[in-house]
């Protein structure tokens, strides 16, 4: 009943694409994901797909195209983030999962080496995302810089857990994942190229104060950034290894 009502609400208040994505996610969660929990370790990968779909729904609900690159970049962040997040959590509670009969990696990983390998592997994948979104022009180069700082800390924790599979190290990764995700998502949205090209005009939707605030904040921060002032002057005198210069070359 709640699934049908929720799908109907999405259809009435947004569009068929959002409603179908929501309905599909309900079936994916209640069907393959729930069934697989006691049958295969792949349940974590299936569940990560479930967790990656909501940002695509949000993008489409706001009028964006399903074929655009931005929602898939956001979905990739959600998908990849879930592995260091959950493998750390499941290692902490591996005994509880085992008693419940769940087929988690941690339950079949006596030494913790597989869990550590997965955490480090997907942390490396996450580290590449801010750089890729910057080079491809989805975000400004500042997202690559800020994202790399956050990812360096996550990779450091992953390396420590790989050396010592203690609950304390796993807990540090889990706690890091709690602030890491909102930080990366906020950074992606704030540094999105869409804001800099968005036209704030008189006929803009009434109450579009968020757009105005973001654009104003970006312009203010750019005025305080020495690097931005260098690459924005008329001589375009910037180091050839500058991420902004290189990303502009790729886009043009």
Q: Rg for the chain (alpha carbons), in Å? A: 21
Q: Which is nearest to 97 in space by CA: 54, 56, 148, 43?
A: 43
Ramachandran region, residue 233 (left: φ > 0; alpha: ψ -120 to 50; beta: rest)? beta
Tell me what pLDDT residue 226 has. Answer: 54
Q: How far is Cα 73 from Cα 244, in angstroms, rounded to an integer? A: 19
Tell me what pLDDT residue 70 has. Answer: 93
Tell me what pLDDT residue 133 has. Answer: 95
pLDDT band at 44, cuts 50/70/90? very high
Q: How far is C-alpha 230 from the geometric centre of its chain's CA atoms?
A: 30
DSSP annotation of 168 reads: H
- CB-based contact 129:120 (threshold 8 Å): no
Question: What's the rounded mean pLDDT across residues 91-115?
Answer: 95
Q: How far is Cα 166 from Cα 119, in angstroms, rounded to an integer? A: 14
Q: Which is nearest to 247 in space by CA: 127, 125, 143, 123?
A: 143
The predicted-structure confidence for 78-91, as pLDDT tens digits, reads as follows: 999 999 999 999 99
pLDDT of residue 2 exceeding 60: yes
Question: What's the rounded mean pLDDT across residues 106-135?
Answer: 96
Burial 177-196 (b: 16+ CB within 10 A, else e): beebbeebeebbebbbbebe
3-state secondary structure 99-142: HCCCCCHHHHCCCCHHHHHHHHHHHHHHHHHHHHHHHCCCECHH
- Which of the two residues, 43 and 227, has the higher pLDDT score? 43
Tell me what pLDDT residue 217 has. Answer: 73
Question: What's the rounded mean pLDDT across residues 38-58?
Answer: 96
Q: How far is Cα 168 from Cα 148, in angstroms, rounded to an integer? A: 24
Q: Determine the number of helices (DSSP H) and then strands (DSSP E) in the chain.
A: 13, 0
Tell me what pLDDT residue 176 has. Answer: 97
Cα angle 135, 180, 187 (rounded to 5 degrees) comes to: 40
The predicted-structure confidence for 186-235, as pLDDT tens digits, reads as follows: 999 888 887 655 444 444 455 567 777 777 776 666 666 655 555 555 44
Q: Encoding tokens for residue 212?
A: 């105005």
């Amino acid at each position: 009943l709640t699934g049908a009502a929720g799908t109907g609400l999405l259809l009435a208040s947004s569009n068929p694409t959002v409603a179908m994505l929501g309905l599909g996610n309900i079936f994916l969660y209640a069907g393959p994901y729930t069934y697989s929990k006691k049958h295969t370790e792949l349940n974590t990968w299936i569940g990560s797909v479930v967790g990656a779909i909501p940002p695509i729904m949000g993008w489409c609900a706001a009028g964006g195209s399903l074929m655009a690159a931005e929602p898939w970049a956001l979905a990739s962040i959600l998908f990849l983030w879930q592995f260091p997040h959950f493998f750390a959590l499941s290692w902490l509670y591996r005994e509880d999962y085992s008693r419940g009969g769940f087929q988690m990696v941690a339950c079949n990983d006596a030494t913790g080496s597989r869990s550590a390998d997965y955490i480090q592997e997907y942390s490396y994948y996450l580290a590449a995302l801010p750089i890729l979104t910057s080079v491809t022009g989805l975000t400004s180069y500042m997202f690559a810089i800020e994202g790399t700082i956050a990812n360096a800390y996550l990779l450091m924790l992953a390396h420590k857990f790989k050396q010592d599979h203690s609950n304390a190290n796993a807990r540090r990764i889990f706690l890091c994942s709690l602030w890491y995700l909102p930080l990366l998502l906020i950074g992606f949205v704030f540094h999105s190229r869409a804001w800099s090209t968005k036209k704030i005009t008189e006929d803009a939707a009434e109450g579009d104060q968020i757009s105005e605030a973001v654009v104003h904040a970006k312009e203010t921060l750019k005025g305080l950034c020495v690097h931005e002032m260098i690459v924005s002057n008329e001589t375009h005198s910037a180091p050839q290894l500058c991420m902004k210069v290189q990303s502009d070359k790729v886009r043009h």
